[in-house]
Amino acid sequence: MIQRTPASIEARESSQRPATGTATLQIPEPRPDWQKLMSNAITSPEELLKRLGLPVEPWLKGARAGHGLFPVRVPEPFVQRMQPGNPNDPLLRQVLPLIEESHQEPGFVRDPLGEDDAIQTTGLIRKYRSRALLMVTGHCAINCRYCFRRHFPYGEHRLSPDDRHEVINTLTASPEINEVIFSGGDPLAANDRLLAQWAELLDTVPHLRRLRIHSRLPVVIPQRVNDSLLKWLSESRLQKVLVVHINHPAELDQATRQALSRLREAGVTLLNQSVILKGVNDSTDTLAQLSETLFEAGVMPYYLHAFDPVEGAHHFAVNDDRAKALVRELMEQLPGFLVPKLVRELPGAASKTPLL
């Protein structure tokens, strides 16, 4: 549901629209590198296994089955950080479907967060009093197997100009909302023209203070952090917060650090959210190293999400007692400001719910 179409349709629409009426020859703008990397992402189980030197047996059968439920998608800059030949690589685990995905487990459901019920206006999800999520695009640069949105009906959230108008009207009429969160999909999978338009519209809503962006793109494709992104970010009057999504310290390579540092220089506050995932980061050492690595890169740990019982992702489940014990151990190893808050999103709650 997240990525059914080839990447960056919006970009192509904008650059290939025929020049109207006049003799002016419109030279299409070159596609940015990040969009090429998005559309050249690995999108088949066979290709992913081959790229990492993994044998067809026993991996292909499960990978194909999972791919049929939620397609494989992983861009090259992320693949480069994986260890070839290692089926347990913590980055590979996040993107390679296993046969377990096709096993149904009782209690694992399609919409564990009840988001379907929180849609306020097309594209606007509001559960908490002072902040609202704006679903800028349904696309993602990477498909994470544990994603709680893997079953989300994204097709229904494509925003027309009328929808956009309606979103701004709703925000203007809601003075208690002071922060808009660009979400998705991955909001930075949208092109900068669209995002700049949104940012300009939000600037006109007087009671808004902050623009927050929840995105995995600066990590997955660091080339996404380019001049045109930094330009519209810097031009907005709102304070900017970017919450990246990093689950394992090996996700932070040199290019990612550079991208994050450019964002910081542009005045963006950087936070990280992770999901606790079996076989990826369910050890105190890994989580401690993640926090240390994030801080070195100028990113503050924010949330550690307790596992949500998403259909097809039960093999990542870490139970709450284990998660709590891990965080208690983290508290003994790290300064308080490097310990993320262990939380869960519960349908109907007025905020995230702390587990400790």
Q: Which of 128, 250, 292, 322 binds ligand PLP (CB under 6 A)?
A: 128
For residue 170, give the H/E element and its range: helix 161-172
Beta strand 131-135 pairing with 124-125 = antiparallel
81 binds ligand PLP (CB under 6 A): no
140 is in an annotated binding site: yes
Closer Cβ to ligand SF4, 79 or 140, answer by number: 140
| 140, interface contact from ligand SF4, ligand PLP, none, CB < 5-8 Å by kind | ligand SF4
149 binds ligand SF4 (CB under 6 A): yes
**Do the Cβ atoms of 179 and 239 come closer than 8 Å?**
no
| 128, interface contact from ligand SF4, ligand PLP, none, CB < 5-8 Å by kind | ligand PLP
Q: Which of 92, 125, 142, 211 binds ligand PLP (CB under 6 A)?
A: 125
Distance CA 216, CA 221 (A): 8
Residue 280, both tokens: 């990826």
Residue 141 Cβ vs ligand SF4, minimum distance, rounded to whole Å: 7
Distance CA 101, CA 354 (A): 28
224 binds ligand PLP (CB under 6 A): no
* Prior bond of 62 cis (ω within 30°): no
Closer Cβ to ligand SF4, 93 or 149, answer by number: 149
95 binds ligand SF4 (CB under 6 A): no
**Do the Cβ atoms of 60 and 45 come closer than 8 Å?**
yes
Closest by Cα among 115, 127, 134 to 208 = 134
Q: Which of 42, 134, 181, 190 binds ligand PLP (CB under 6 A)?
A: 181
DSSP string, 1-68: ----S-S-HHHHHHHHSPPPSSSPPPPPPPPPHHHHHHHTSB-SHHHHHHHTT--HHHHHHHHHHHHH
Among positions 217-276, residues that touch ligand SF4 (CB under 6 A) are 245
Closer Cβ to ligand PLP, 65 or 300, answer by number: 300
Which positions lie near ligand SF4, rule CB under 6 A?
2, 140, 142-144, 147, 149, 186, 216, 245
Binding residues for ligand PLP, rule: CB under 6 A, are 125, 127-128, 131, 133, 181, 345, 351-352
